[in-house]
Chain A
Amino acid sequence: MSVQPKLLKGQTGDWEIVIGMEVHAQVLSNSKLFSGASTAFGAEPNSQVSFVDAGMPGMLPVINKKCVEQAVRTGLGLKAEINRTSIFDRKNYFYPDLPTGYQISQYQNPIVGEGEVFIDLAGGESLRVGIERLHLEQDAGKSLHDQHPDSSYVDLNRAGVALMEIVTKPHMRSSEQAAAFLRKLRAIVRYLGTCDGNMDEGSMRADVNVSVCPAGGYEQFRVTGDFKHLGTRCEIKNVNSMRFIAQAVEYEARRQVDVIEGGGTIKQETRLFDARAGETRSMRSKEEAHDYRYFPDPDLLPLVLDDAWIEEIRASLPELPDEKKARFESLGLSAYDASVLVAERETADYFEAMLAAGAEAKQAANWLNNEYFGRLNKAGLTLAEGPISAEANSAIVQMVASDVISGKIAKDLCDIVWSEGGDPRVLVEERGLRQVTDTSAIEQAVDAVIASNPDKVEEVKAKPKLAGWFVGQVMKQTGGKANPAAVNAILKARLGLPEEG
């Protein structure tokens, strides 16, 4: 926490931004939290609705063990305390997409307690973001207002799907940190396989709590734990992309500073982010907030977890981004390269497959970060969609390392594998791409170039920088296959140039 907060300049002084988040992550499971209906995305409206989801009379919720397991797995991934007993409560309010008139959620006794997430900051520092809690709850359905001129329709496919609400402590201090937190959380749940993290399909949605306080206020809060040192927070609802988080936080913090400096006070309220206008707008004030009349759901028994079961889940956890990053660094990767490779589980897996096929870590990382990812990016492809397998890329990297091909040829070879496919090792032989390291062949080529360009030989003696021209000619003669280092050395000797220069 030694990180210097980013300050917001105001007319009366500097302000600090304080951010906490509530992230709704849809649990990856085949069926809903309390019913057997499917959770698949994109089905025909109301085709995945059981009588329980529709709130039919006499229907009762029955907990889906898989969803509980996913919540526990996520809790363990967040290094959080797993509560052996948790309770499902009813949150009561009327809305057409809420068939029973109440959402089953967890209020005072969530399944997961305090945990933590570390995010990487620019400059190699890392910030600990405390997790307050994680609880399980049902999603609501969706109102469709564009289907009929004077009626609204309701699609209940999503009603009852399990969500994990993950609440952080107010530990983030800038829009960048908020976005970095969400990216990290997304990576963790994707590693764990507990949420697909797909923000476009709404499987991850964030509400962002923003407040501002005069510079230094946060430090006092941190020392005393007293919230009075912080400003009044506003909750910004449903910020559904990384980019919007940054925009929403920036806008909201500036708005609050302007209000306070203009002599006003911030009211605790819920605000909605309007992505098109790039601004937040008041939705409802604290006074208008619903009285949800929470009480324990009498249809469900307290959820009691067995230690042995929790340990079983713990034992099945995959290596998570932080541990993986540390391991990659221990293989010689820079912190930056390691963090790029662990950001997505698929990327890390691909990298590890290259190592398993024989590539050296640093060389594989350089090849991916400097060459292959650029190509994918340009082609607009994801790693999974890319045409070159980890094994093929590994072969290319290994051939460069063992001087079978030059770096330049490696790029050409990559072009061939990209467009035509095939085994790089076979291609190198078939197409005669093997690098020439035989000095006599190179000497012959050098001599030929010198002999046919006496004028250039004179020039290079005056301007040693022209040596590059000779290198190009020799490479041309050898079809690009000459070992560049050998060419350089022989040229310098023959032309009588200094070793360095």
Chain B
Amino acid sequence: MSELTNFTLAEARDAVRNKTVSSVELTRAFIGAVEAARPLNAFITETPERALEMAAASDARIAKGEGGALEGLPVAIKDLFCTKGVRTTAGSNILSNFIPPYESTVSQNLWDAGAVMLGKTNMDEFAMGSSNETSHFGPVFNPHRSRGSNANLVPGGSSGGSAAAVSGSLCLAATGTDTGGSIRQPAAVAGIVGLKPTYGRCSRYGTVAFASSLDQAGPMTKTVRDAAIFLRAMASVDPKDSTSVDLPVPDYEAGLDDGVKGLRVGIPKEYRIDGAPPEIDALWAEGVEWLKRQGAEIVDVSLPHTKYALPTYYIVAPAEASSNLARYDGVRFGHRAQGARDITDLYEKSRAEGFGKEVQRRILIGTYVLSSGYYDAYYIRAQKLRSLIAQDFTEAYKKCDVLLTPATPGPAFAVGSKTADPVAMYLNDVFTVTVNLAGLPGLAVPAGLTADGLPLGLQIIGRAFDEATVLRAGRALEIAANFNAKPAEWWKA
């Protein structure tokens, strides 16, 4: 059975298509893996019965010679995507009993392609966090541990459950969302592939909003090929999301192995930061060599406003969040405090009980920066910086086709080690937020290990809607890195 869970998405797809394995067999194997991995706390809600029903339906379609691109393939869904009839919590107490009467467009696209839902993965509350420790449903543990250590490490965040589920072979692929790095950072520290597509590539309809102008759904998979397959199924223009973009979704898998010969790869000097572990810079240099050796042209570029990216992000994202999260008021759905004296008391109690500390912090920051008298000093200036940051990329892309950067400033860290210092936590996204602010695609590819055996990733950043080139460059990195570190399945003990 363990062989089945070791399949990549592409391998499983071919096996199911060729009927060498049935979807029900495959699904049972993953249901078993999910159950066995409960110590990881990767799932908030497991849906084994539904998975088996979907698998049986897939097998029936395959028997009739029908079936979509992901027919019969068990996947996990971040608990930020609303799933009709299945509890959707956003990792928050305020939605701990929320069962949506509708399906998100991204998950619907997956079901339409034949995918099978194993369950809903754990995440930082409302996607606010970089370690999955802000979840109301408890932290997720990274399947990887330092060599010779039993200490639990974080899987990154906010898509920590999805990262752990893919890394621990609990599913073939998982959806993530990325507002400032929430796909790429956990992917990097859990040793998997994570792609944040261009803003507008995947519909946001039915995905619980954190920061609307930055949120973007994307694939978290074992391989770059799997990311290409999964993204194609997730992406669509959507009349229900005005910010989704009406461009054809290409077959990303088609040109994946075309190589990087002649591709101009930019190396932004601002991504070399003081205090980063030497392993990060070393891996980055190695990545440069790998691509150069495969025929890429390396170009030095500058993204001069990079240093403003984190402060800009921590104004824009909380501002939007403070407004997006106003609907959780205890009136219509979600947690409602008992014994409220009046409506204001109901709001205050419901929200105080329903939201965790980090969410409250960001709501306060967001409310502050939008307040009259502060709006110009914070929000307007942040918007200007955002334009400048986007402009940096436009300039850089005059000289290159993609950028190569580290994915994170370090490997997975110990659970509890950064929770007391929000700013230290925020620094995890230093290499990823710029991409969200500019609305560009970014891909994290596992590329190496620390001396302690912990995964590290590299990031390829591309032009808007040029995921195909990003994936092609990522595939070249993947080949050269030959990353094959599998976590010891310590949770099965």
Chain A residues engaging chain B, CB cutoff 8 angstroms? 51, 54-63, 90, 92, 94, 96, 99-102, 152, 154, 291, 293-295, 298-301
In the complex, are the beta carbons of B88 and A301 less than 8 A apart?
no
Shortest CB-to-CB span from B191 to chain A, Å, is 30
Question: In chain A, what residue has the closest Cβ to B347?
Answer: A94
Q: Which of B101, B213, B242, B371 is close to A61, meaning CB atoms less than 8 Å apart?
A: B242
Give 1 or 0 for each of B337-380: 1 = CB within 8 Å of chain A CB: 00000011001000000000000000000010011100100010
Tell me which residues across on chain A come within 8 A of B371, comparing CB atoms: 291, 293
The interface centre, meaning the residue of A56, A62, A154 with most chain B CB atoms within 10 A of its CB, is A56
B100 interfacial contact with A, CB 8 Å: yes
Q: Which of B111-119, B258-266, B323-331 faces chain A? A: B323-331
Q: Give B175-224 interface residues, CB cut-off 8 Å to A.
A: 204-209, 211-213
In the assembly, what is the distance between CA of A96 and CA of B81, in Å?
26
B492 interfacial contact with A, CB 8 Å: no
In the complex, are the beta carbons of B82 and A293 less than 8 A apart?
no
In the complex, are the beta carbons of B379 and A295 less than 8 A apart?
yes
In the assembly, what is the distance between CA of A299 and CA of B371, in Å?
20
* Known contacts A51-B102, A57-B90, A57-B98; A300 and B208 CB within 8 A of each other: no
In the complex, are the beta carbons of A58 and B208 less than 8 A apart?
yes
B104 interfacial contact with A, CB 8 Å: yes
Question: In chain A, what residue has the closest Cβ to B379?
Answer: A295
In the complex, are the beta carbons of A99 and B332 less than 8 A apart?
yes
Add 19 more A-B contacts to A57-B82, A58-B204, A96-B331 (CB < 8 A): A51-B102, A54-B332, A56-B102, A57-B95, A57-B209, A57-B333, A58-B82, A58-B100, A58-B209, A60-B241, A61-B242, A62-B242, A63-B242, A100-B326, A102-B326, A293-B370, A298-B212, A300-B242, A301-B242
In the complex, are the beta carbons of A299 and B212 less than 8 A apart?
yes
B450 interfacial contact with A, CB 8 Å: no
Interface residues on B, range: 35 or more
In the assembly, what is the distance between CA of A154 and CA of B370, in Å?
28
Tell me which residues across on chain B come within 8 A of A92, comparing CB atoms: 322-323, 326, 370
* Known contacts A55-B332, A58-B206, A293-B371; A94 and B326 CB within 8 A of each other: yes
Question: In chain B, what residue has the closest Cβ to A289?
Answer: B372
The interface centre, meaning the residue of B211, B212, B329 with most chain A CB atoms within 10 A of its CB, is B329
In the assembly, what is the distance between CA of A99 and CA of B98, in Å?
16
* Known contacts A291-B371, A299-B243; A58 and B205 CB within 8 A of each other: yes
Shortest CB-to-CB span from A296 to chain B, Å, is 9
Tell me which residues across on chain B come within 8 A of A60, comparing CB atoms: 204-205, 240-242
* Known contacts A100-B327, A298-B213, A301-B242; A57 and B370 CB within 8 A of each other: no
Q: List 28 A-B contacts (CB under 8 A).
A: A51-B102, A54-B332, A55-B332, A56-B333, A57-B208, A57-B209, A58-B82, A58-B100, A58-B104, A58-B204, A58-B206, A58-B208, A60-B240, A62-B240, A92-B326, A99-B332, A100-B326, A101-B326, A101-B329, A152-B343, A291-B371, A293-B370, A293-B372, A295-B323, A298-B211, A298-B213, A299-B243, A300-B242
In the assembly, what is the distance between CA of A152 and CA of B331, in Å?
11
B458 interfacial contact with A, CB 8 Å: no
Tell me which residues across on chain B come within 8 A of A94, comparing CB atoms: 326, 329, 344, 347
Tell me which residues across on chain B come within 8 A of A59, comparing CB atoms: 205-206
* Known contacts A57-B82, A57-B90, A293-B367; A102 and B209 CB within 8 A of each other: no
In the complex, are the beta carbons of A90 and B323 less than 8 A apart?
yes
In the assembly, what is the distance between CA of A478 and CA of B333, in Å?
82
In the assembly, what is the distance between CA of A69 and CA of B375, in Å?
32
Tell me which residues across on chain B come within 8 A of A300, comparing CB atoms: 242-243
Q: Give B55-106 interface residues, CB cut-off 8 Å to A.
A: 81-82, 88, 90, 95, 98, 100-102, 104
Tell me which residues across on chain B come within 8 A of A301, comparing CB atoms: 242-243
Tell me which residues across on chain B come within 8 A of A298, comparing CB atoms: 211-213, 243, 320
Tell me which residues across on chain A come within 8 A of B211, comparing CB atoms: 298
